[in-house]
């Protein structure tokens, strides 16, 4: 792109904390990565954080931020131990050490203390500069007003109803999703301003940029009557597509054809489970190949790959079109993915906090370390400021240590007879050792073979199988949303663009937190991208996507963000240089936990599934995280925490 265009985009403009970008971690992590020293205050080390630390307000490159993953990668590459200093023994001793302070690690701490008692000594070690793992809070102060967005885990929502343990934990934390949905979610604000879902066709794929507003039927949850009546033929009349392609999309969207006549519902489902949605469209619905770019990314948000790599039956389960007249009976069938089968059977309750499930993580931290976050209710935690200096106090029974990457967890003595685990971790350039009666690895499971090289080979192989799904969420603060108002749009599915979707932040009013109501006020935008490589098997697509994320600089993310917003919103008067106030890129090279894909993975019996083999307890070390449930949901993170703790307590 030319310098003039860069100037038009505002690449030369200072935005909030932009200058810290690739050093962002250096602000928070920086004090640590410059090398820590042993604390003066006795056997422990310096507290992780200072009172003025506030990681949620950092902008720039967040998610897996610089400084959080380099140690893990050098461990993977076999270079770490070649230069590692001798570990310093902190002499700290705990009943339980948890590796990973995501929702699974925090829940495991909660369950352990609940079973063992209030006097349990627990340490959580986390490699990021904030707790919550994927459940990350993005906090902005635009025009002096607090605005929140989820940096990762979006909402309480699962393919299956929350289990007794997971629902029970939410209740103990004061979370009642149906009540909160009713009391705090503002579903009328955007419709009352006549803002609608839209599609944007990107010129790189479709030849010209085009925004079409008011998707027929409106999409999930959209109650606008006029759009219900609109036909796809009319809606697509100005789309940059040939007439034949427009007709075929309209035929699929309003399908009146049984594309598999003569088969029973069971037989149809069996056939649909063995072909991709792409193949269904091309070979069964006999659609023009020109429809594929229109549908390609529809499965990105759910599974992290496009329709080339997702079974047609799974796509039916999440509501993709083409099946309306095929007389498929409701409910799950054999050979479906976990998500598709669950959603076909009805799914769970849903609720979105302003910072996503980061509120669950914060409630768990307040439950474990009350001094760190003030307040008592699910409403007041939304605006409460955490005091990070209280997370790791030597006098506390429960301590949470950030910026600490665990590099080894070792049973002392034979695993079958071990009474102690030694856990070694880095902070900055230093290496420390702590001692525990038990350990739960609530971290990303593919990391575990490097932490416990003495695991059986079969278990290590199983753990390596679980390739996490890369994703990136952008949060953009803008001066006002008059362009959205003028164009009549609330959310945009962008076809063929860099970001798959761009939406106004969800409108929620909870406690002292109030979403902006007037288009003249600043607001946050939520953007989402799923990097993958169509045509490859799903796990290979995830690996390719991860590489893409790791080599993309913040400057590239910023330029693509400004360019896309300018092209979508420019006709509504949006000025990318003037109107963008802050950008946070939540980069998750290791995102969703891997869910088996019926097109690529064998239909193993339960006991032979890699996640089941991989999560076996090893001496005094148990394994949690959503990975060990082979899927990516908060309820599963909690359930796996419960199981791991039970395994330790019953051993």
Using CB under 6 A, list all residues that contact ligand FAD. Answer: 72, 99-100, 102-105, 125-128, 133-135, 152-155, 157-158, 357, 405-406, 442-444, 447, 471, 473, 588, 591-593, 625-626, 632-634, 637
What is the closest distance, in whole angstroms, from the C-beta atom of residue 626 to ligand FAD in the complex? 4
Which helix (H) or strand (E) is 103 found in, with range?
helix 103-116
Instruction: Work out the number of other CB atoms within 10 angstroms of the CB of residue 516.
Output: 20
What is the closest distance, in whole angstroms, from the C-beta atom of residue 296 to ligand FAD in the complex? 20
Sign for the pseudo-dihedral over CA of 48, 50, 51, 55: negative
Dig out the tokens for 279 from the structure: 């193949």
Sign for the pseudo-dihedral over CA of 176, 102, 137, 529: negative
Task: DSSP for 295-317, please give it.
Answer: HTTTTHHHHSS-GGGSBHHHHHH
Which residues neighbour 439 within 8 Å (Cβ) at sequence distance 6 or greater? 96, 97, 98, 99, 409, 421, 423, 620, 621, 622
Q: Toward ligand FAD, which CB reaches closer, 20 or 351? A: 351
Q: Toward ligand FAD, which CB reaches closer, 480 or 491? A: 491
What is the closest distance, in whole angstroms, from the C-beta atom of residue 479 to ligand FAD in the complex? 26
What is the closest distance, in whole angstroms, from the C-beta atom of residue 598 to ligand FAD in the complex? 20
Q: Toward ligand FAD, which CB reaches closer, 184 or 631? A: 631
Q: Toward ligand FAD, which CB reaches closer, 127 or 611? A: 127
DSSP reduced 3-state for 508: strand
Measured CA to CA, the distance from residue 124 to residue 440 in angstroms comes to 10
Task: DSSP for 563-618, please give it.
Answer: HHHHHHHGGGT--HHHHEEEEEEEEEEEEEPP---TTTS----GGGSHHHHHT--B
What is the closest distance, in whole angstroms, from the C-beta atom of residue 155 to ligand FAD in the complex? 5
> String of b and e for 156-185 (b: at least 16 CB within 10 Å)?
bbbbbebbebbbebbeebebbbeebbeebb
The strand pair at 196-201 and 489-495 is best described as parallel
Distances (CA, A) of 276 to 283, 322, 535: 10, 13, 11
Measured CA to CA, the distance from residue 5 to residue 591 in angstroms comes to 33
Q: Toward ligand FAD, which CB reaches closer, 110 or 134? A: 134
**427: closest CA among 110, 46, 114, 151?**
46
What is the closest distance, in whole angstroms, from the C-beta atom of residue 585 to ligand FAD in the complex? 12
Q: Toward ligand FAD, which CB reaches closer, 100 or 306? A: 100
The strand pair at 88-99 and 210-213 is best described as unpaired
Q: Toward ligand FAD, which CB reaches closer, 249 or 340? A: 340
Q: Toward ligand FAD, which CB reaches closer, 134 or 539? A: 134
What is the closest distance, in whole angstroms, from the C-beta atom of residue 279 to ligand FAD in the complex? 28
What is the closest distance, in whole angstroms, from the C-beta atom of residue 245 to ligand FAD in the complex? 32
Residues linked to residue 124 through DSSP beta bridges, in sequence order: 98, 400
What is the closest distance, in whole angstroms, from the C-beta atom of residue 597 to ligand FAD in the complex? 17
Q: Toward ligand FAD, which CB reaches closer, 294 or 444? A: 444
| Cβ burial, residue 63 (10 Å; 0-12/13-18/19+) | buried
The strand pair at 523-529 and 501-504 is best described as antiparallel
What is the closest distance, in whole angstroms, from the C-beta atom of residue 321 to ligand FAD in the complex? 23
What is the closest distance, in whole angstroms, from the C-beta atom of residue 335 to ligand FAD in the complex? 24
């Amino acid at each position: 792109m030319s310098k003039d265009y860069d100037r038009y985009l505002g690449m030369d403009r200072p935005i909030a904390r932009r200058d810290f970008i690739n050093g962002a971690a250096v602000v928070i992590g920086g004090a640590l990565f410059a090398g820590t020293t042993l604390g003066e205050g006795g056997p422990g080390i310096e507290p992780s954080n200072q009172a003025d630390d506030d990681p949620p307000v950092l902008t720039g490159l967040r998610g897996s931020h610089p400084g959080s993953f380099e140690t893990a990668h050098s461990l993977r590459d076999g270079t770490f131990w070649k230069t590692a200093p001798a570990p310093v023994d902190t002499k700290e001793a705990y009943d339980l050490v948890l590796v990973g302070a995501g929702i699974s690690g925090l829940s495991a701490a909660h369950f352990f203390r609940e079973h063992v008692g209030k006097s349990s000594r627990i340490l959580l070690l986390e490699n990021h500069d904030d707790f919550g793992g994927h459940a990350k809070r993005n906090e902005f102060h635009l025009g002096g007003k607090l605005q929140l967005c989820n940096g990762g885990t979006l909402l309480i929502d699962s393919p299956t109803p929350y289990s007794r343990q997971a629902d029970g934990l939410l209740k103990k934390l004061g979370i009642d999703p149906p009540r909160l949905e009713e009391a705090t979610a503002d579903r009328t604000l955007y419709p009352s301003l006549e803002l609608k879902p839209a599609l944007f066709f990107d010129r790189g794929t479709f030849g010209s940029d085009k925004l079409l507003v008011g998707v027929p039927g409106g999409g999930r949850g959209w109650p606008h009557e006029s759009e219900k009546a609109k036909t796809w033929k009319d809606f697509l009349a100005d789309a940059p597509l040939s007439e034949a392609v427009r007709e075929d999309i309209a035929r699929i969207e309003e399908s009146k054809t049984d594309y598999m006549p003569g088969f029973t519902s069971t037989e149809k489902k069996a056939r649909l489970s063995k072909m991709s949605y792409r193949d269904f469209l091309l070979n069964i619905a006999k659609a023009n190949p020109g429809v594929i770019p229109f549908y390609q990314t529809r499965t990105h948000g759910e599974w992290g790959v496009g329709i080339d790599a997702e079974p047609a039956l799974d796509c039916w389960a999440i509501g993709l079109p083409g099946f309306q007249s095929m007389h498929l009976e409701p409910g799950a069938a054999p050979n479906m993915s976990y998500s598709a089968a669950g959603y076909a059977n009805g799914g769970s309750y849903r609720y979105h906090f302003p910072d996503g499930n980061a509120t669950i993580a914060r409630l768990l931290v307040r439950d474990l370390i009350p001094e760190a976050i003030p307040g008592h209710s699910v409403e007041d935690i939304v605006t409460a400021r955490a005091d990070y200096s209280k997370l790791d106090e030597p006098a506390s029974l429960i301590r949470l240590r950030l910026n600490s990457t665990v590099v080894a967890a070792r049973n002392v003595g034979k695993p079958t007879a071990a009474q102690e685990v030694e856990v070694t971790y880095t902070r900055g350039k230093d290496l420390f050792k702590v001692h525990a009666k038990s350990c739960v690895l609530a971290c990303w499971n593919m990391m575990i073979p490097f932490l416990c090289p003495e695991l059986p080979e079969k278990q290590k192989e199983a753990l390596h199988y679980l390739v996490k799904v890369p994703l990136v969420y952008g949060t953009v603060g803008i001066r006002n949303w008059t362009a959205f108002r003028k164009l009549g749009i609330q959310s945009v599915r962008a076809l063929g663009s860099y970001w798959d979707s761009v939406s106004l932040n969800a409108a929620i009013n909870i406690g002292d937190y109030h979403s902006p109501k007037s288009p003249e006020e600043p607001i946050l935008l939520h953007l989402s991208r799923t990097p993958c490589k169509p045509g490859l098997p799903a796990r290979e697509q995830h690996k390719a996507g991860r590489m893409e994320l790791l080599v993309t600089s913040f400057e590239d993310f910023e330029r693509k963000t400004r360019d896309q917003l300018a092209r979508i919103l420019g006709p509504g008067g949006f000025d990318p240089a003037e109107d963008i106030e802050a950008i946070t890129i939540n980069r998750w090279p290791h995102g969703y936990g891997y869910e088996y894909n019926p097109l690529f993975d064998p239909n193993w019996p339960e006991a032979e599934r890699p996640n089941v083999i991989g999560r076996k307890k090893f001496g005094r070390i148990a394994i949690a995280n959503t990975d060990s449930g082979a899927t990516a949901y908060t309820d599963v993170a909690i359930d796996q925490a419960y199981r791991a703790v039970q395994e330790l307590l019953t051993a």
